[in-house]
Amino acid sequence: MTARDVTVVMLAYGDEPVLHAAVRSVLDSEDVDVSVVLVDNGCTSDAVRTLPADPRLRVVTPAENLGFAGGVNLGAAGVRTTYLGLVNSDAEVHPDALATLVEVAARPDVGIASGSIRLADRPDTMNSAGNPVHVVGLSWAGAHGEPATAHATEQDVASASGAGLVLRRELWERLGGFEDTYFAYHEDVDLSWRTWQLGLRVVFVPDAVVLHHYEFSRNARKMFLLERNRRIFLSTLYGRRLRAATALPAWAIDLAMGLVARAQGWAPQHREARRWIRDNQAWIAERRARVEAAAVVDDRHMARLLTATLDQQVFPLPRGAGVLQAVMRAYWTVARRFV
């Protein structure tokens, strides 16, 4: 092994029309010693079976769909390279992207290096320049739809995008990888937040370009996971002071989510998410204790990562919502002083 060796974990699920190009782009990476662990989490086409043989490619097939979180954890188990990378199966990395991410992840004050995730059909347009985290636990693809030229500067971000990132393997192991319970959605936010809690930075790297064949989808199962996982994040990763400071907006968003769920037809899933949290209080308390015991950074410092403004491109808000956004910003300006 060398100081520039990286194993990329990738998951296959469903049709996977871009899988061959995604794997090839990773294996063709320059200036790194790269290998790929591909987790077949339920590929329904012949995309995995027809991948060209390559000694740097290993396929792992679990007995059942483990979700993104569990699938990545399985793929990362036993990895011994210096660095671990994540690349989506519908994404293609530029030849120098992984080497650029490795270079940033090698800095002693950096925990996660997050790529410049671009829209594959519009490579000059951002899919994600790092993901913001709202005070109520919502997160989204930051700068989605904006020109890449507007995001040409390296900067700290609240959360990395799981579509393309690199971190040191020893940090992954120290963090315990993803939280399996999430299954899918929000696990990258959780990992990033815990990285910050260790006093390490999460950095957006504009020169590490990843082209993402991005398609936004919404279904009842996804909405359940998004809402449940948002609540897990708030309940287990916010410390006591931060939970107190965000209690009022969290209560307000709970009401708003109930209205949205009814309007969009996923009210049963919204209720299921609330029940899950209610029925798993023992697990939540146990995980919160583990997270707090590992953290070396306090809530006051962590509060700086949060935003009080929702991106209206991602979350279309009703008329007059600008006033509510202004109220939220004013509230948070005051509340965070007491964290």
Average pLDDT of the chain to the nearest whole number: 95
Q: What is the pLDDT of residue 1?
A: 46
Tell me how far apart the alpha carbons of residues 135 and 146 are, in angstroms, rounded to a whole number.
23
Tell me how far apart the alpha carbons of residues 318 and 255 are, in angstroms, rounded to a whole number.
15
Output the six-digit token pair for 332. Answer: 């948070």
Global pTM value: 0.96
CB-based contacts of 281, cutoff 8 Å, min separation 6: none
- Asked if 154 contacts 205 with a C-beta cutoff of 8 angstroms, the reply is yes
Q: What is the pLDDT of residue 310?
A: 86
Evaluate if residue 281 carries a pLDDT over 90: yes
Residues 181, 82, 201, 328, CA torsion sign: negative
Evaluate if residue 315 carries a pLDDT over 80: no
Alpha-helix runs per DSSP H in 80-161: 97-105
pLDDT digits (tens, 9 = 90+) for 62-77: 999 999 999 999 999 9
